[in-house]
Amino acid sequence: MEGKSSYGGNMEYLKATELKLGPPGTDILQEATSGVSTRPKKRAVTGPTEQHTKSKVQVVGWPPVRPQRMNSFRARRNETVDESGGVYVKVSMDGAPYLRNIDLKILHGYKELRTILEGMFKCSSLGGAEGYDEEGYAITYEDKDGDLMLVGDVPWEMFVSSCKRLRIMKGSEARGLS
Amino acid sequence: MKVQSAMFYFPEEVIEHIFSFLTHHPDRNTVSTVCKAWYKIERLSRREVFVGNCYAIRPDRAAARFPGLRSLTLKGKPHFADFDLVPPDWGGLAGPWIEAMARSCPNLEELRMKRMVVSDESLELLVHAFPNFKALVLVSCEGFSTDGLAAVARSCKSLRELDLQENEIEDRGPRWLNSFPDMCTSLVSLNFACLKGEVNLKSLERLVCRSPNLKCLRLNRAVPVETLAKIMNQCPNLEDLGTGSLLADQFSEAYVSLISALQKCKKLRCLSGFWDASPLCLLAVYPICANLTGLNLSYAPTVQGQDFINLIQHCVKLLRLWVLDSVGDKGLAVVASACKELQELRVFPSDLFAAGPATVTEEGLVAISTGCPKLNSLLYFCHSMTNSALITVSKNCPNFTRFRLCILEPRKPDPATNEPLDEGFGAVVKTCKNLRRFSISGLLTDQVFYYIGKYAKALEMLSIAFAGDTDQGMTYVLNGCKNLRKLEIRDCPFGDGALLADVTKYETMRSLWMSSCDISLRGCKALATKMPSLNVEIINEWEAEMEENLNNGVAEVISNNNNKHINNGNDERKVEKLYVYRTVGGPRTDAPDFVWTL
């Protein structure tokens, strides 16, 4: 991944790294969702990558498992606190072929977080405190409740205790969060 | 004529006595239709009523008809509400029912509700309106908090059963456990496993001490091993236990205490909970495994591999087993060799997002079917399935009454042959004559529906997702399944043709659900026009409607006036979610904005 100069628009990597249900390499789910959801009544999704956005969105209510069970899976999946007390969270970036792990405990604030992430993923711009520019990215995270949140809203300590994983989203997709 | 005059010689008491032997609801419903006299006797002597769809009848009417009612069972939202397919505030309100019962049925003792919205106020009313109230069972309900539970604990003097299964309960603190009366309680069954918050442990211990009749106790995750040990020492007669968190250090005092306490519980038959279970705590459970008939490990991802095998091999009398797929085919093979009496198996997915290797496959299922021929109820989540496995399974276990197979990836074919799974599922319906409930998945064509329509004569509930090719598929089912009561369909290419293929069929069913299919507003309107005894409801999310109105330059305010939206021209619009059910109660009066009754 070092040496990759651009992350936007490389379709193969997009497909390889996008979130989906089922083992990687299967495209059937993508067909399933995009085939069904071309109705005018669907909530509008902005951005040029509409097709990919739809296929990244999990199929609502599938698999048919009650929310109580879903939540207990999430809780287990993210309980990766190591013995030394570090808080390691996975960091994914849209378009990147593999994820990274960082220890939030050793950082002191959002600015340092941004610097570290920029170094890890060698992106040109991760945007300013208020958001991001057209070509840039937004840093988001999944909190204890499983919700996707924009990084920077809560005090740093609160963020460290509630952050379960980080995701660097492309600017066009992340617009909806602001 | 002769028969009729003969009946006049029977006093009402005798007829009532005869009716008391009829416990099956359909039988009682039938006798009530024979003549006016029997209708009257039956309704006054009826003690139990089951309402499968709370909107099928008005609460007032049900309450007025059965003034002697002691036990009421109510179901609210459609089944797919469990999977977030029904928007919040859709309905299923318990309030009107409780109020109606309070007015007309003072002898109510038991209330069981599933998928309904219950408020704290309704719970208050419940315990004050019915002096003999004894049992409250809430399954998949929401809308209340621990304050409501406190009201029940405080005011219900003869409470025997408080059973909370998988509800969404707002946590307002642990004090509700203090609210039980200070003297001995009549509690037989207490289940608060679904409560997410903290529990006052001392109150719990004291409550158990003064509940000598306790047979079933299911704790939540906040209860540690120390408290569990103390409780178990107080209740050696416990038959059903849901543990709290089973995390214990090596040979701590709590752990030692737990072992000795468990050994005294000779009557323990059913175990659940097992949150965070450490292998050490599982060791403590071994001595009681031989008598277990029910075991639920589906919230215990830590119990896998050799730990699971060590545990399950002792459970030779097991009838019901719920596990996660992390036990693997290997674990299921051990189940097959040890649990010869097994009747019900549920295998839940343990990690929906991992791209790791599949943990249970068709091999595990085949092994189970080979080793456990008494199996009659199955829920199985897996990553793939083959036709030949399904054919083998149905040969081995012809007694299935409930068969639900969920292949996690929609439309996935048989990986061995790349064919659809029509033949596999077809084999199940051909062999299992008593099949009442069926859920299918994977790649499926109209052919599987042909088989279902032809062979599944006892079928009452069918769940379909991402299946079928044409309207013919759904039509096979509607035409063939004589006993069908509930049909729920999502993401299938069935359109108006299928919907309207046999409209009178829906009067014989409880309900039909169709979402993300190919039906249009025109088809739904046609159904509503032809069948006035049905409520034909469309669920349309608000934002989409507002967006469309703005896009069309129509600046009208969204109101609850359905007609404006329904009749603004385009009947070819696809309907996202349709819910049809028979009713004598007319259109809903409590429908929210996004539910349109045609």
The string of pLDDT tens digits covering residues A139-161 is 889 888 888 888 888 888 888 88
Cα gap A120→A115, rounded to integer Å: 9
Q: Which of A98, A87, A91, A92 is nearest to A158 (CA)?
A: A87
Phi, psi of A14 (to 5 degrees): -55, -45
Q: Which of A105, A103, A20 is nearest to A57 (CA)?
A: A20
Cα–Cα distances in angstroms (integers) from residue B281 to residues B224, B229, B278, B436, in the given order: 12, 11, 5, 39
Confidence band for B7, pLDDT divided at 50, 70 and 90: low
First-to-last alpha carbon distance for chain B, in angstroms, is: 46
Whether B476 has a pLDDT exceeding 90, the answer reads yes
Beta strand pairing status for B511-515 and B577-582?
antiparallel
pLDDT of residue B229: 92
Which of A29, A42, A65 minimises the CB distance to B544? A42
Whether A44 has a pLDDT exceeding 70, the answer reads no
CB contacts of B547 in chain A (<8 Å) are 43-44
Cα gap A156→A142, rounded to integer Å: 15
CB contacts of A29 in chain B (<8 Å) are 409-410
> How many angstroms separate the CA of residue B555 from the nearest CA in chain A?
17
**What percent of chain A has a predicted confidence (pLDDT) above 70?**
46
Q: CA-nearest residue of chain A to B545?
A: A41
Confidence band for B13, pLDDT divided at 50, 70 and 90: confident
Sequence-ordered list of residues with C-beta below 8 angstroms from that of B139, at least 6 positions apart, any chain:
B112, B113, B114, B115, B165, B166, B167
Query: Between A and B, how many CB-CB pairs are < 8 A?
Result: 100
Confidence band for B545, pLDDT divided at 50, 70 and 90: low
Higher-confidence residue of B267 and B562: namely B267
ipTM of the complex: 0.84
Cis geometry, peptide bond prior to residue B398 (ω within 30 degrees of 0): no
Whether B112 has a pLDDT exceeding 50, the answer reads yes
Cα–Cα distances in angstroms (integers) from residue A152 to residues A124, A163, B103, B357, B467, in the given order: 20, 11, 55, 36, 44
- Average pLDDT of A14-37? 44
Q: For residue range B351-401, list pLDDT tens digits in order.
A: 765 534 558 999 999 999 999 999 999 999 998 999 999 999 999 999 999
CB A65 within 8 A of CB B349: yes
CB contacts of B85 in chain A (<8 Å) are 60-61
Whether A113 has a pLDDT exceeding 90, the answer reads no
* Interface contact A28-B299, CB threshold 8 A: no
CB contacts of A70 in chain B (<8 Å) are 352
> How many angstroms separate the CA of residue A108 from the nearest CA in chain B?
31
B→A interface, C-beta within 8 Å: 80, 82-85, 140, 166, 194, 298-299, 301, 348-355, 358, 381, 383, 406, 408-412, 439, 463, 465-466, 490-491, 516, 540-541, 543-545, 547-548, 573-574, 576
What's the predicted TM-score (pTM) here?
0.78
* Interface contact B351-A44, CB threshold 8 A: no
Question: What's the gap between Cα B235 and its chain centre?
Answer: 30
Higher-confidence residue of B332 and A89: namely B332
Sequence-ordered list of residues with C-beta below 8 angstroms from that of B181, at least 6 positions apart, any chain:
B154, B157
* Chain B contact present for A57, CB below 8 A: no
| Least confident among A69-83, B336-350, B351-365 | A69-83
CB A47 within 8 A of CB A54: no
Whether A47 has a pLDDT exceeding 50, the answer reads no
CB contacts of B410 in chain A (<8 Å) are 28-29, 32, 59, 62
**Tokens 């007319």 found at:** B586
* Interface contact B574-A41, CB threshold 8 A: yes
Among A27, A36, A46, the residue to mutate for chain B (most B Cβ within 10 A) = A36
* Interface contact A36-B353, CB threshold 8 A: no
